[in-house]
Structure 1
Amino acid sequence: MQRLVILGGGESGVGTAILAKKKGYEVFVSDKGIIKDKYRKVLEHFEIEWEDQQHTEEKILNADVVMKSPGIPDKIALIQKLKEKKIPVISEIEFASKYTDAKIIGITGSNGKTTTTMLVNHILKSEGLHVGMAGNIGDSYAKMVAENDFEYYVLEISSFQLDGIVDFKPHIAILTNISPDHLDRYDYKYENYIASKFRIAENQTEDDYFIYDADDKDLTDWLKKHPVKAKLMPYSIERTIEEGAFSTNKDITITTNNDTLKMKTDSLSLEGKHNLKNTMAASTASKLIGIRKETIRNSVANFQGAEHRLEKVLKIHHVEYINDSKATNVNATYYALDSVRTPTVWIVGGVDKGNDYKSLMPLVREKVKAIICLGKDNTKIIEAFGNVVDLIVEAYDMSETVKIAYKMAERGDTVLLSPACASFDLFDNYEDRGNQFKAAVQNL
């Protein structure tokens, strides 16, 4: 009997434990933090041995294989010891994929992956396909594989999850874009992060498809130097594409296998250039697996976007309040500011991941009338925009922030929460930050 040790007793760890137990492994779950009650109960129900608030090395270093949760960096001593002993350390995505024959659509990218994943899932479900959505979103992929027999999986995959793959291969891979993010995990080398994202295509063959943004220079430059085997399906809003997707002002044209689908851009439920691209990527993937044109058209017209991503909260006295708490990097905030059409009171700040705010300058000059910094340390933001925006104030809780925004905003303005930073200084996570924003707006 093979021994599987799982590091991390959260959603992916416990899901993997359930699948491994079902497949006859001896399973041990170890978490340095505290395992939540709901997960403890599941482990006890399945009679899986576990520990928390420690890693007992003798119980870990005797593993045949280790599954580590994406939040654990490779640099820690325990992982280094496992590697020295040549014990494979893999991700949940790698482990679970061995136990399903379902067709996999895998989606990665610095931004847009959640929206694209949800949209692909929505289109496939609308066609009546038996589909599971997992990965970096929703329920554990391994748990789904253990409990269901889906024909298709739509997986949102982070770079951390891709770092732990060996044989994992999606039939269709989507790479939405690349911008510097999480560089603290990649020795502060952008090329290491890019290489990690491209692992989504490394096991693909000529029978598979690779959908990507042809307007993203970092991505296309990398692809020229490191070609992939899969059939390339680019999409663009800057030039025409023969095989793939492109958009002119009013139309989207998607061509796969000599068959073309046309849609009007004004029929899409999602606004902004970035969402036009997300829609092209999702529609191309759906068309490649044979979804009917009518289903794709209807699905992109009635899709409700991801929570905390450019989510319209309320309009109060002709001022629009938008929750974009999921914008945890500069690139995501760029898209948010780009999609706003009116003078903006911008709420920004949090835990800076080595941000460079230069790319936001033109948009801030053009659209932002006031900035509210919501973070423990706002020095960098004040230095970056102090000469560009006349009104910059600091706030330290959400209720105060929203009250200040309410006073600053005038008829026809937008109040935009798009932090460009992680949330852990003042909030549990970006969802908590977004929910507090919505509650504060509703209490005005």
Structure 2
Amino acid sequence: MKEQVVILGAGESGVGAALLAKQQGYSCFVSDSGNLNPKHQLELTTSGIDWEEGKHDEGRILAADLVIKSPGIPEKNPLVKQLRAKGIPVISEIEWAFRFIGNSRVIAITGSNGKTTTTSLTYHICRHAGLDCALVGNIGYSFARQVATDPKPWYIAEISSFQLDDIVTFRPYIAILTNITEDHLDRYDYQFSKYIASKFRVTMNQQASDYFIFCEDDEVTMQHINEFSIQSNLLPTSMRKEFLQGAFIKDNQMTVATADEKLQMSIYDFALKGKHNQYNTMAAGLAASVIGLRKDKIREAIQSFEALEHRMEHVANVRGVEFINDSKATNVNSTWYALESMTRPVILILGGVDKGNDYSLILDLVKEKVKAIVCMGVDNRKIHEAFQHTVPVMVNTSSAAEAVHSAFQLSDKGDVVLLSPACASFDLFKNYEDRGKQFKEAVKNL
């Protein structure tokens, strides 16, 4: 009799995990306390997989041999506590998928900021160079769905700390850690050290034949790297130091050095602009170089990559004012990166659901570059308190259209209107994509 697998949470990762369990001959049951998306309902039903919504059948769940948990369900959930107390193994969907990939290899990208861009760029380079690979994880399909329906020799995976919390054997051939800043602390008992440890789990099972790419200019990474016993080959990136093995930028030239190979390229040829994207490009270039992709193909792909929607995305120029959609900036650090790359006066649209934000991090950049702040959220008090002595003009709005209209009225020719909210979007929007789309729509209607 095959093991009884229970899947908690029926989003993209849960449904993917269920399809893989079914394909591998396991008896499986999907349980979600919320409502299932109709597309997922249909998929589970047509695959002959048992599911429930709006409740949890505790008896059935606590009889499982193995539980695959959605990354959105925290450890303090009562059901998770009961499973732990009973000693029933609880794993994440990336751990589950990894168990069935055979000889395939994984490039795993994690970090507080830049992981989506770095993952997408790495995938773009690999595809451009002819590698047979899939884009999985937090971006694209769930890893398990890809393994079940269209397995590949290579998987390029964007991975969150929540997914890393429940790995056991997951072992990427190349692990990339972009940086570590305070984020999601509500899930880590407000202890930054727990979140840091979670990020470093990406290296936990790596061996001497694997690679770990990290940013040597990131203070938090460097303060803590020696606390973990990392067995893989270390490949740093930096703008301050040069390396024999690793990647660095000096005099506006990027050098990527791995084994006997050296790739050099001017930063002015990068499709992605801004200092933070130079770090993302070094990490992706290093990963591509490690797996032996051709230098000319890596160079071409870095030049031809198109920026992601909702991440520093140019929307339009309206009467000399540029509008930029950075709706994916859901924490203060992301907004810091956005402001850091600005060279013209900024009207900044901020606000949403605050995750315990510390706005002092961006105070200096706001003082230097921002001429007005447009608040877009249900509760804007904290933003007003943080910037009232720094920014001469601050206005409150309660929709994307109103925010865009106010920002345009406050702007002069040559200014930039930047939507980089530093907050989650759930007060006024479905998610950050919805926020970004409404922003773009409002700009088109000016």
TM score, norm. by length of structure 1 = 0.99
Structure 2 Cα separation of the partners of residues 403 and 127 of structure 1: 44
Cα distance per residue 1:94-129 (max 9 Å; x no partner)? 000111121100000000000000001001100111
Shift of 1:258: 2.7
Q: Which amino acid aligns with 1:177?
A: N
SS at match of 2:306: coil
Q: Which of 323, 347, 350 is the equivalent residue of 1:348?
A: 350
Residue equivalent to 2:367: 365
SS at match of 1:360: helix
Kept after mapping to 2: 8 A contact 1:247/1:253: yes
Structure 2 Cα separation of the partners of residues 45 and 81 of structure 1: 31
Structure 1 Cα separation of the partners of residues 252 and 400 of structure 2: 39
Shift of 1:226: 2.2
Q: Does 1:41 align with 2:29?
A: no
Shift of 1:380: 1.0
Structure 1 Cα separation of the partners of residues 363 and 226 of structure 2: 30
Cα distance per residue 1:390-435 (max 9 Å; x no partner)? 0001111111110001101100000000000110111100000000
Residue equivalent to 1:296: 298
Q: Which amino acid aligns with 2:332?
A: V
Q: Which amino acid aligns with 1:423?
A: S
Residue equivalent to 1:15: 16
Residue equivalent to 2:147: 145
Shift of 1:141: 1.0
Shift of 1:30: 0.3
Q: Which amino acid aligns with 2:55?
A: Q
Kept after mapping to 1: 8 A contact 2:376/2:398: yes
Residue equivalent to 2:319: 317
Structure 2 Cα separation of the partners of residues 179 and 148 of structure 1: 35
Residue equivalent to 1:385: 387
Residue equivalent to 1:83: 84
Shift of 1:306: 1.4
RMSD value, Cα: 0.7
Kept after mapping to 2: 8 A contact 1:172/1:208: yes
Kept after mapping to 1: 8 A contact 2:200/2:228: no
Structure 2 Cα separation of the partners of residues 320 and 78 of structure 1: 49
Q: Percent identity?
A: 52
Q: Does 1:58 align with 2:41?
A: no
SS at match of 1:5: strand
Residue equivalent to 1:95: 96
Shift of 1:249: 3.0
Q: Which amino acid aligns with 1:9?
A: A
Cα distance per residue 1:324-375 (max 9 Å; x no partner)? 0000011100000011110000000111111111121111011000000111
SS at match of 1:423: coil
Structure 2 Cα separation of the partners of residues 105 and 342 of structure 1: 37
Shift of 1:243: 1.0
Residue equivalent to 2:280: 278
SS at match of 1:308: coil
Structure 2 Cα separation of the partners of residues 386 and 168 of structure 1: 47
Structure 2 Cα separation of the partners of residues 142 and 288 of structure 1: 25
Number of residue pairs matched? 444
Kept after mapping to 2: 8 A contact 1:249/1:265: no
Bigger shift: residues 256-265 or 182-191:
256-265
Q: Which amino acid aligns with 2:5?
A: L
Structure 2 Cα separation of the partners of residues 86 and 41 of structure 1: 33
Shift of 1:221: 1.1
Residue equivalent to 1:263: 265
Q: Which amino acid aligns with 2:121?
A: L
Q: Which amino acid aligns with 1:363?
A: L
Q: Does 1:240 align with 2:259?
A: no
Structure 2 Cα separation of the partners of residues 128 and 150 of structure 1: 13
Structure 1 Cα separation of the partners of residues 252 and 228 of structure 2: 34
Shift of 1:140: 1.3
Q: Which amino acid aligns with 1:2?
A: E
Structure 2 Cα separation of the partners of residues 115 and 318 of structure 1: 28
Structure 1 Cα separation of the partners of residues 126 and 134 of structure 2: 10
Q: Which of 419, 436, 439 is the equivalent residue of 2:438?
A: 436
Cα distance per residue 1:142-190 (max 9 Å; x no partner)? 0110112311000000000001100000000000000000000000000
Kept after mapping to 2: 8 A contact 1:112/1:176: yes
Q: Which of 424, 427, 437 is the equivalent residue of 1:425?
A: 427
Shift of 1:250: 1.6
Structure 1 Cα separation of the partners of residues 158 and 309 of structure 2: 15
Residue equivalent to 1:154: 156
SS at match of 2:63: coil
5+ residue gaps in structure 2?
Answer: none
